[in-house]
Structure 1
Amino acid sequence: MHYDFMAKQKLEARTIPSLRTRDKRYDVFDVLLPSFGIRVSPSGRKAWFVFTRTAGIQRRITLGVYPSMSLAEARDAARISLSSAPAEAAVLPVPVLVLRDAIPEFVEKHARPKNRSWRDTQRDLLKFDAIADLPLSQIRRPDVVRVLDSIIAAGAATRANRALAAIKKLFAWYLDRGAIETNPIAGLKPPSKEISRDRVLNEQELRKCWAAAEAEEWPFGQFVKVLLLTAQRRGEVAEMKWSEIDFDAAIWTIPAARAKNGSTHIVPLAPATIEILASIPRVVGSEFVFTTTGRSPISGFGRLKARLDKAVGGEEWRLHDLRRTVATNLAMLGVQPHVIEAVLNHRTGIISGVAAVYNRHAYVREKQEALFQWAKHLTSFSSKGQMRKQPEMPSRTFGQIFENMSISDRASI
């Protein structure tokens, strides 16, 4: 089945040859003469047309074929057709909203303002490229299912679930806005059953990972080390800013706006971590700690992970598994579960109810001791000898740090 898709632009003689063919035909309307345009067919045929309306009935009139009829000739013919029709003639058909155009609008107006992981949502929606040129109103459940099946066939079953969740939100949003009449995938169940991950790097793999980080060039080597030493999320570490680090107090404060659970998170920094951060060159005019451009944080984690995989070997693992690995090792070192939860900035219910309210500002010292102990164990793997000795405790207390915080940051801890 063929579908007509519409776009609007200023038609110029020099741009007509650059209109490329697609799998399905599409129309390009002229912004200077809105009812006039050109239809490009999969065969390569380009036909001029104009829409007129007589007695409430809309008609498409084919004027000629390019290049036999030039743009100027076609525009003149369109004007003649419009002038000979009643005054109601120059009516442009209601634009068709295709998925390719719907995605950026949804991301910009809905996902980005409300979701800290909007980039993941955008990435998941772009996986529907195979049906991106279909109008939203003509996308059917089997169309979506076919895309999900292809994602699963590529070995990304969990990603298929995320893609379904993203496009469900998109359809629901456009349904609320009245852009479509029905949601074709309402009630569609996730295509694969997710199994909670329990991958933990063993000590040999951990040693190899640390060695690989030492072999990495700036800034990825330092990034992996800080990831391991702090047990924080990949995005939180990658987007770390100099203004968030208090070197005197040896803490890193992740603001609520960047923390996944929306709560300001204080991360004590072990001497080894402070030494690594102090060694990182600052890009003039940039707030980002890990950056190569100064304008944005580092990216390209897929390539980094490929290099780490080559060094570490073993079973498949993800960067996020490093958090679970640190948590497991902290438990082996005797750290209590509620302290590990505090280190990870998790709210899993170990401390809940009224107790959670009264313990919001607790465990900073315990987190500090846990991460200091973990850093001592981890840096013992170093092939470059012992790290330079640092003061055992920071020069400022948490009480002093807390007093200098804004009211909003205090409340969100």
Structure 2
Amino acid sequence: MTRSLTFTKATLDALPPATSGSRDTYHDSKTPGLQLRVTETGVKTFSVYRWLKGDSKPQRTTLGRYPQMTIDQARTAAAQVNAVVEGRGNPGDERRAKRASGITLREAFAEFLLARKSLSPRTVYSYERIMGLHAEEDRTDARRPKHKPRRSGASFKDWLDKPIVSITKDMVAQRHAKMGEHSPAQANGSMRVLRTVLNFAAAKYENSKGEPIIGENPVRRLSQTRAWYPVARRSTVLRQQDLKPWFAAVLALPTVDGGSQRVANAKPEDVRDYLLFLILTGARRTEAAKLRWDQVDLIARTFTFHETKNKQRHTLPLSDYLFDMLSARKEAAAGDYVFPGTGKGGYLVETRRQTAKVVEQSGVSFTLHDLRRTFITIAESLDIPAYALKRLLNHKSNNDVTAGYIVMDVERLRGPMQLITDYILRTAGLRASASVKSIGPRAERKNSPE
């Protein structure tokens, strides 16, 4: 049923519920387009029903429920909608723009994560931690990287419920400086994450004119004022004289760290073979940890990483030493992962106790990524061709036109992989000695790729 009447409190209070399965509509005789709709349960809602220029049918703009919204309030709101329509605007666009202007950092970040489905769980956790979504005492999530807790002011927790349009350049500069008191590298990394989220928000949210709600990303202030902290790239490798004691300590892990008994996240022999695999392949720590037996082909003597940093599958040959090691592991394997662990994912995550033992026994301080840098540095010192080296490391060659024409078959990499293994094992005293080249002081190879 549709009818026109003058809206008064007494009139609207007296309106009965609509008949079952229908909805009654009443037009206010004083305000163009203002309606009251009544459901079969008696719910009464104000709306504006107007034709918009260029549209094929009228559009309805919901205002609010009666009596929570009074008649005077409804007429005022309807007049505002009518003003937009008369100005050839769209009330729907105005509402969306108003909502967009109130989007908080928390909401924008949630939308960002939904749109970035390719991010790894570890990266997602790191971003969430930067935003301040994880409590400091949360120490149970296997995705989280191992690092020192962030101090107060080292995240954006207190900004989460602020509208993103309220985040100013001054706020960014001050927070960056405060973060830098604790760690310049973390300060830079946190601001890069914020910049990415705000760039996403600028592309997604618009005002009523179709313009980004963020005119300029406030993180640009750091570039404009050259405030980014100069953070030296890590360049540590195991030196030539480090390899022999390091290998001896790694190979002794099952003896010095409890035999075959599980300690923390893994058996000592699993960590032993994992460390050997890292230094003899140059693999990234997580890619190696997630290696499954169905990705290892002992007949073809190859292995393939499915989840890589550049999202491209990466197949490499096994050197003789790694083939023997993985063949022995396969015979005793009881699960899906080459390097199993007791964590939620089923693969090796925690190695700190065993690596600490290696450092203690060998006197060689190292990180897991140092092993990748060592592999790269040795490969370069052996004059491995640049294109073969890039394929071994799974580095992209987007700006290299020539590289795009070179198809590097996995068998072309078998010789270089074996050459690197032979060099490392000879230097470590595990194979017959031969002349070896110096791979340089531990902290001087600053231009080696990651």
- With normalisation by structure 1, the TM-score equals 0.58
SS in 2 for 1:128: coil
**1:291 Cα offset (Å):** 3.1
In 1: Cα distance, 2:199 partner to 2:358 partner: 40
Report if aligned partners of 2:303, 2:315 keep a CA contact under 8 Å in 1: yes
The residue aligned with 1:189 is 222
Structure with max Cα Rg: 2
In 2: Cα distance, 1:370 partner to 1:357 partner: 20
In 2: Cα distance, 1:133 partner to 1:263 partner: 34
1:139 maps onto 2:167 in alignment: yes
**1:203 Cα offset (Å):** 1.6
The residue identity in structure 1 corresponding to 2:187 is A
In 1: Cα distance, 2:187 partner to 2:352 partner: 18
**1:53 Cα offset (Å):** 4.5
1:15-74 Cα deviation digits (max 9, x unpaired):
xxxxxxxxxxxxxxxxxxxxxxxxxxxxxxxxxxxx9544439xxxxxxxxxxxxxxxxx
In 1: Cα distance, 2:358 partner to 2:156 partner: 30
**1:325 Cα offset (Å):** 1.4
Matched ranges for 1:114-129 at <5 A: 118-119=123-124, 120-126=126-132, 128-129=155-156
Report if aligned partners of 2:179, 2:186 keep a CA contact under 8 Å in 1: yes
In 2: Cα distance, 1:321 partner to 1:228 partner: 9
Could you tell me which of 190, 201, 204 is aligned with 1:177?
A: 204
The residue aligned with 1:328 is 377
The residue aligned with 1:401 is none
The residue identity in structure 2 corresponding to 1:185 is P
The residue aligned with 1:261 is 310
**1:226 Cα offset (Å):** 0.5
Report if aligned partners of 2:249, 2:361 keep a CA contact under 8 Å in 1: yes
SS in 2 for 1:372: helix
The residue aligned with 1:361 is 408
* Inter-CA distance 251–175: structure 2 relative to 1 (3 Å threshold): same
1:375-404 Cα deviation digits (max 9, x unpaired):
233334668x679xxxxxxxxxxxxxxxxx
The residue aligned with 1:226 is 277
**1:204 Cα offset (Å):** 2.5
Matched ranges for 1:156-175 at <5 A: 157-175=184-202
Could you tell me which of 274, 295, 305 is aligned with 2:345?
A: 295
**1:366 Cα offset (Å):** 4.2
* Inter-CA distance 357–331: structure 2 relative to 1 (3 Å threshold): closer
* Inter-CA distance 151–263: structure 2 relative to 1 (3 Å threshold): same
Matched ranges for 1:86-125 at <5 A: 98-100=104-106, 102-107=108-113, 109-113=114-118, 118-119=123-124, 120-125=126-131
Structure 2 unaligned blocks of 5 or more: 1-66, 75-97, 133-153, 207-211, 254-267, 433-450
1:351-378 Cα deviation digits (max 9, x unpaired):
942x43442134x334212222322333
SS in 1 for 2:304: strand
**1:219 Cα offset (Å):** 2.6
The residue aligned with 1:278 is 327
Report if aligned partners of 1:210, 1:381 keep a CA contact under 8 Å in 2: no
The residue aligned with 1:342 is 391
**1:347 Cα offset (Å):** 3.6
Report if aligned partners of 1:233, 1:323 keep a CA contact under 8 Å in 2: yes
- With normalisation by structure 2, the TM-score equals 0.54
In 1: Cα distance, 2:248 partner to 2:221 partner: 46
The residue aligned with 2:73 is 56
SS in 2 for 1:320: helix
In 2: Cα distance, 1:139 partner to 1:173 partner: 15
The residue identity in structure 2 corresponding to 1:337 is A
SS in 1 for 2:415: helix
Report if aligned partners of 1:131, 1:143 keep a CA contact under 8 Å in 2: no
- Identity among equivalent positions (%) equals 19
The residue identity in structure 1 corresponding to 2:403 is A
Report if aligned partners of 2:317, 2:414 keep a CA contact under 8 Å in 1: yes
Give the number of equivalent residue pairs: 292
The residue identity in structure 2 corresponding to 1:173 is F
In 1: Cα distance, 2:283 partner to 2:235 partner: 17
1:296-354 Cα deviation digits (max 9, x unpaired):
43223666665555555567x543232221122123334333332222122458x942x
Could you tell me which of 234, 241, 247 is aligned with 1:204?
A: 241
SS in 2 for 1:266: strand
In 2: Cα distance, 1:358 partner to 1:324 partner: 27
In 2: Cα distance, 1:185 partner to 1:303 partner: 42
Report if aligned partners of 1:270, 1:368 keep a CA contact under 8 Å in 2: yes
**1:232 Cα offset (Å):** 1.6
Report if aligned partners of 2:246, 2:362 keep a CA contact under 8 Å in 1: yes
Report if aligned partners of 1:244, 1:254 keep a CA contact under 8 Å in 2: yes
Which 10-residue stretch deviates more, 187-196 or 298-307? Answer: 298-307
**1:167 Cα offset (Å):** 1.1
**1:236 Cα offset (Å):** 1.4
SS in 1 for 2:303: strand
Report if aligned partners of 2:285, 2:369 keep a CA contact under 8 Å in 1: yes
SS in 1 for 2:201: helix
The residue identity in structure 1 corresponding to 2:73 is G
The residue identity in structure 1 corresponding to 2:312 is S
* Inter-CA distance 377–248: structure 2 relative to 1 (3 Å threshold): same
Report if aligned partners of 1:283, 1:294 keep a CA contact under 8 Å in 2: no
* Inter-CA distance 302–158: structure 2 relative to 1 (3 Å threshold): farther
In 2: Cα distance, 1:145 partner to 1:218 partner: 48
The residue identity in structure 1 corresponding to 2:324 is E
In 2: Cα distance, 1:339 partner to 1:99 partner: 44
